[in-house]
Amino acid sequence: MKNKTKNILSLNFDQISHWLINRGEKEFRAKQLWPWLWAKRVKDFSLMTNLSKPLRKILAQNFCIKWPEVRDIKESKDGTVKFLLALEDEKLIETVLIPEKDHYTQCLSSQVGCSLACTFCSTGQMGFKRNMYSHEIAAQILVAQDYLQKKNSPKHLTNLVFMGMGEPLLNWKEVREALQIINHPLGLNFSRRKITLSTVGIKGVLQDFGQSKLALLAVSLHAPTQELREKIMPKAARWDLNELVSVLAEYPLARRERITIEYVLLGGVNDTPEHARQLVRLLSRVKCKINLIAYNPGPDSKYRAPEKKDILKFEQILWSKGMTAILRKSKGQDISAACGQLIVMSKLNS
């Protein structure tokens, strides 16, 4: 039976504080309650021992604590873990834990599906179902942390990337609030330097995100010219590429920060030496580093993976022009958890 009480995770810190004060509680009670929800991951009000028993009872009468429900977990041979999560309305999303040498990075989703329908991305095949709420976005982290704790993992979750399902800046209101939950020192307490938000570039909203200083920026570029970008990601290309790059050239960065440029290499489409030279010219004014990603073909894909020799030529041209370029190793391909492969095909998401 569906719980009719409100999920307390859907309230931000200030809302919880106001709720408590309106019921005659002291202001500091919110500072006691918040860590139980987000830092200690407690799902039962009765276990919140520094709160009075009457307050715990009132909280239980008015609220529930509900995380996304884990419907499936797939583990890759390389250690990548993909979770299928059901939200409160039964909509399904995926989130991925990526193993690094001494830590984990989590790939977070921000929408159920995606409206941009980039031609090389499996998530776009789902279409757009709805925006995720801030607590749903942040609660993906609770699920992952709980999984690692139960596995007694020696490595901890330290890094977050908004590179899962959806375009984060098309859900900026909820993503902003999720980032505030994630940054909160009494809650999840992630440093902004450990959080990267990936976007195709949404005019106006990109500038607002830059001013927020809530996370680092990655831009899904994938083409060095407006014409090619219109072909492979037509909806994203509605913002003219030269205008986007002009905004990136003026983007507010701290002293040692750089924008990450993501570039998926599609075999025979955007991976030639001429494309590399065009990319160098395009980004000459931008303080950036380039993540090259070899395309991961999905079912019925219209593209192919690039040849290794073409990847090396492309990379070497960037290096020769003084660009910082890194070939990002794709993980989780055997469980469809690699870049651009997240997709939920289910009647529950219809």
339 is catalytic: yes
Tokens representing 86 are 């059901």
Name the catalytic one among 114, 118, 288, 339. 339
Name the catalytic one among 94, 136, 167, 315. 94
Q: What domains can you pick out in the chain, each with its CATH number?
A: 6-64 (1.10.150.530), 69-349 (3.20.20.70)
Tokens representing 225 are 């010219």
69 is catalytic: no
Percent of the chain at pLDDT exceeding 90: 85
Tokens representing 118 are 């980039």
pLDDT at 123: 78
Amino acid at the residue 292: L
pLDDT tens-place string over residues 140-182:
999 999 999 999 999 999 999 999 999 999 999 999 999 999 9
Read off the pTM: 0.93
Percent of the chain at pLDDT exceeding 70: 92
pLDDT tens-place string over residues 89-136:
999 999 999 999 999 999 999 999 999 989 888 777 778 999 999 999
Cα 330 to Cα 295: distance, rounded to the nearest angstrom:
9
3-state percent helix, strand, coil for the chain, nearest multiple of 5: 40, 20, 40
Strands 216-220, 63-64: parallel, antiparallel or unpaired by DSSP?
unpaired
pLDDT tens-place string over residues 74-102:
998 988 999 999 999 999 999 999 999 99
77, 99, 88, 106: which is closest to 342 by C-alpha?
106
The structure tokens 């009494």 sit at: 186
